[in-house]
Protein backbone atom coordinates (compact mmCIF):
# COMPACT_ATOMS: atom_id res chain seq x y z
CA UNK A 1 0.00 0.00 0.00
CA UNK A 2 1.24 3.48 -0.96
CA UNK A 3 4.12 1.97 -2.92
CA UNK A 4 4.83 3.49 -6.30
CA UNK A 5 6.48 1.88 -9.27
CA UNK A 6 8.63 4.50 -10.96
CA UNK A 7 6.45 6.12 -13.62
CA UNK A 8 7.79 7.50 -16.89
CA UNK A 9 4.90 8.40 -19.18
CA UNK A 10 2.00 10.71 -18.53
CA UNK A 11 -0.32 7.72 -18.61
CA UNK A 12 1.76 5.91 -15.97
CA UNK A 13 1.73 9.03 -13.80
CA UNK A 14 -2.05 9.38 -14.17
CA UNK A 15 -2.55 5.69 -13.34
CA UNK A 16 -0.30 6.07 -10.27
CA UNK A 17 -2.14 9.17 -9.10
CA UNK A 18 -5.55 7.45 -9.46
CA UNK A 19 -4.38 4.30 -7.71
CA UNK A 20 -2.80 6.29 -4.89
CA UNK A 21 -5.90 8.48 -4.45
CA UNK A 22 -8.05 5.35 -4.19
CA UNK A 23 -5.69 3.83 -1.61
CA UNK A 24 -5.57 7.05 0.40
CA UNK A 25 -9.36 7.44 0.32
CA UNK A 26 -9.80 3.86 1.55
CA UNK A 27 -7.10 4.12 4.22
CA UNK A 28 -8.05 7.54 5.58
CA UNK A 29 -11.74 6.65 5.29
CA UNK A 30 -11.14 3.65 7.57
CA UNK A 31 -9.96 5.85 10.46
CA UNK A 32 -12.51 6.70 13.09
CA UNK A 33 -13.29 10.36 13.66
CA UNK A 34 -11.15 10.64 16.79
CA UNK A 35 -8.09 9.15 15.16
CA UNK A 36 -8.57 11.19 11.98
CA UNK A 37 -8.75 14.48 13.89
CA UNK A 38 -6.20 13.84 16.69
CA UNK A 39 -2.54 14.83 16.38
CA UNK A 40 -0.14 11.89 16.20
CA UNK A 41 2.00 12.79 19.16
CA UNK A 42 3.93 15.92 18.23
CA UNK A 43 3.01 15.51 14.56
CA UNK A 44 0.03 16.59 12.50
CA UNK A 45 -3.25 14.72 12.66
CA UNK A 46 -4.23 12.69 9.60
CA UNK A 47 -6.79 15.37 8.70
CA UNK A 48 -4.09 18.07 8.72
CA UNK A 49 -1.91 15.91 6.47
CA UNK A 50 -4.85 15.50 4.11
CA UNK A 51 -5.55 19.25 4.09
CA UNK A 52 -1.88 19.89 3.34
CA UNK A 53 -2.03 17.42 0.47
CA UNK A 54 -5.27 18.91 -0.87
CA UNK A 55 -3.65 22.37 -0.93
CA UNK A 56 -0.63 21.01 -2.74
CA UNK A 57 -2.66 19.00 -5.26
CA UNK A 58 -4.95 21.99 -5.94
CA UNK A 59 -1.89 24.16 -6.60
CA UNK A 60 -0.51 21.64 -9.10
CA UNK A 61 -3.90 21.33 -10.84
CA UNK A 62 -4.26 25.11 -10.95
CA UNK A 63 -0.82 25.53 -12.48
CA UNK A 64 -1.62 22.94 -15.11
CA UNK A 65 -4.78 24.84 -16.11
CA UNK A 66 -2.84 28.04 -16.88
CA UNK A 67 -2.37 28.68 -20.58
CA UNK A 68 0.84 27.23 -21.92
CA UNK A 69 1.76 30.53 -23.51
CA UNK A 70 1.53 32.24 -20.13
CA UNK A 71 3.59 29.46 -18.51
CA UNK A 72 6.28 29.89 -21.17
CA UNK A 73 6.33 33.66 -20.70
CA UNK A 74 6.39 33.55 -16.88
CA UNK A 75 8.62 30.54 -16.23
CA UNK A 76 10.41 29.83 -19.49
CA UNK A 77 10.56 26.59 -21.39
CA UNK A 78 12.73 23.73 -20.31
CA UNK A 79 15.49 22.92 -22.75
CA UNK A 80 16.87 19.87 -20.92
CA UNK A 81 14.89 16.66 -20.40
CA UNK A 82 12.78 16.30 -17.28
CA UNK A 83 14.42 14.69 -14.29
CA UNK A 84 13.33 11.15 -13.51
CA UNK A 85 10.91 10.24 -10.75
CA UNK A 86 13.83 9.01 -8.65
CA UNK A 87 15.73 12.27 -9.13
CA UNK A 88 12.69 14.31 -8.07
CA UNK A 89 12.28 12.11 -4.97
CA UNK A 90 15.96 12.61 -4.08
CA UNK A 91 15.66 16.37 -4.57
CA UNK A 92 12.64 16.51 -2.24
CA UNK A 93 14.26 14.27 0.38
CA UNK A 94 17.35 16.51 0.32
CA UNK A 95 15.16 19.57 0.87
CA UNK A 96 13.47 17.86 3.84
CA UNK A 97 16.82 16.82 5.29
CA UNK A 98 17.95 20.45 5.02
CA UNK A 99 14.96 21.49 7.17
CA UNK A 100 12.39 22.49 4.55
CA UNK A 101 8.85 22.75 5.84
CA UNK A 102 5.35 23.15 4.46
CA UNK A 103 5.47 26.97 4.43
CA UNK A 104 2.30 28.48 2.97
CA UNK A 105 0.93 24.95 2.52
CA UNK A 106 0.80 24.42 6.29
CA UNK A 107 -2.82 23.69 7.20
CA UNK A 108 -4.52 25.97 9.69
CA UNK A 109 -6.11 24.81 12.92
CA UNK A 110 -9.74 23.67 12.80
CA UNK A 111 -12.03 26.58 13.69
CA UNK A 112 -13.81 26.00 17.02
CA UNK A 113 -17.28 26.79 15.62
CA UNK A 114 -17.35 23.75 13.30
CA UNK A 115 -18.15 20.26 14.55
CA UNK A 116 -15.44 17.65 14.14
CA UNK A 117 -17.74 15.52 12.00
CA UNK A 118 -18.60 18.34 9.59
CA UNK A 119 -14.98 19.43 9.45
CA UNK A 120 -13.65 15.96 8.66
CA UNK A 121 -16.32 15.33 6.01
CA UNK A 122 -15.32 18.62 4.37
CA UNK A 123 -11.64 17.69 4.50
CA UNK A 124 -12.30 14.40 2.72
CA UNK A 125 -14.51 16.11 0.15
CA UNK A 126 -11.92 18.82 -0.61
CA UNK A 127 -9.21 16.16 -0.95
CA UNK A 128 -11.32 14.19 -3.41
CA UNK A 129 -12.16 17.34 -5.39
CA UNK A 130 -8.47 18.27 -5.58
CA UNK A 131 -7.61 14.81 -6.91
CA UNK A 132 -10.39 15.04 -9.51
CA UNK A 133 -9.17 18.49 -10.60
CA UNK A 134 -5.61 17.19 -11.01
CA UNK A 135 -6.79 14.18 -13.02
CA UNK A 136 -8.80 16.46 -15.31
CA UNK A 137 -5.91 18.88 -15.76
CA UNK A 138 -3.21 16.26 -16.34
CA UNK A 139 -5.21 14.48 -19.02
CA UNK A 140 -4.84 17.49 -21.32
CA UNK A 141 -1.04 17.36 -21.54
CA UNK A 142 0.93 15.60 -24.26
CA UNK A 143 4.21 13.83 -23.46
CA UNK A 144 6.13 16.61 -25.22
CA UNK A 145 4.29 19.38 -23.34
CA UNK A 146 4.92 17.67 -19.97
CA UNK A 147 8.65 18.15 -20.55
CA UNK A 148 8.55 21.57 -22.20
CA UNK A 149 6.59 23.73 -19.75
CA UNK A 150 7.60 24.64 -16.21
CA UNK A 151 5.84 25.56 -13.01
CA UNK A 152 7.35 27.02 -9.84
CA UNK A 153 7.65 24.74 -6.83
CA UNK A 154 7.96 26.57 -3.48
CA UNK A 155 10.82 24.32 -2.25
CA UNK A 156 12.37 22.89 -5.38
CA UNK A 157 12.31 25.80 -7.83
CA UNK A 158 11.19 25.58 -11.44
CA UNK A 159 10.10 22.11 -12.43
CA UNK A 160 8.63 20.71 -15.60
CA UNK A 161 5.00 19.72 -15.45
CA UNK A 162 6.12 16.06 -15.53
CA UNK A 163 8.39 16.72 -12.52
CA UNK A 164 5.53 18.45 -10.68
CA UNK A 165 3.39 15.36 -11.27
CA UNK A 166 6.24 13.10 -10.08
CA UNK A 167 6.55 15.26 -6.97
CA UNK A 168 2.79 15.18 -6.36
CA UNK A 169 2.71 11.41 -6.62
CA UNK A 170 5.62 10.92 -4.21
CA UNK A 171 4.51 13.70 -1.85
CA UNK A 172 1.07 12.16 -1.34
CA UNK A 173 2.50 8.69 -0.71
CA UNK A 174 5.16 10.12 1.63
CA UNK A 175 2.61 11.85 3.88
CA UNK A 176 0.24 8.92 4.10
CA UNK A 177 3.12 6.54 4.86
CA UNK A 178 4.04 8.87 7.77
CA UNK A 179 0.46 8.64 9.06
CA UNK A 180 0.56 4.82 8.83
CA UNK A 181 3.98 4.61 10.55
CA UNK A 182 2.86 6.84 13.40
CA UNK A 183 -0.27 4.75 13.94
CA UNK A 184 1.82 1.62 14.48
Q: What is the pLDDT along the chain (184 residues), one digit of tens a residue?
A: 888 899 999 999 999 999 999 999 999 999 999 999 999 999 999 999 999 999 999 999 999 999 999 999 999 999 999 999 999 999 999 999 999 999 999 998 877 788 888 888 999 999 999 999 999 999 999 999 999 999 999 999 999 999 999 999 999 999 999 999 999 8
Q: Which CATH architecture has domain 10-183?
A: Up-down Bundle (1.20)
Domain-wise residue ranges, the chain: 10-183
Calculated CA dihedral for residues 3, 46, 42, 39, nearest 10 degrees: -150
pLDDT at 21: 95
Dihedral sign, Cα of residue 145, residue 62, residue 176, residue 42: positive
The answer to whether the CB of 37 falls within 8 A of the CB of 111 is: no
Q: In the chain, count of helices (H) and strands (E)?
A: 8, 2
Residue 49, judged by CB atoms within 10 A of its CB (0-12, 13-18, 19+), counts as buried
pLDDT at 40: 96
Q: What is the pTM of this model?
A: 0.96
pLDDT at 144: 97
The answer to whether the CB of 52 falls within 8 A of the CB of 106 is: yes
Q: Give the DSSP H/E element, type plus range, for residue 118.
A: helix 116-138
Amino acid sequence: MFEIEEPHTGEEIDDGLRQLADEINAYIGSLDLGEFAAPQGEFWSPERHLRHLAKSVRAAAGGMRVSRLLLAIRFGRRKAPSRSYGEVVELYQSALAAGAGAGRFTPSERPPDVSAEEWCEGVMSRWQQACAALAAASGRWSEKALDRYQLPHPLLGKMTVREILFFTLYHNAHHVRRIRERRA
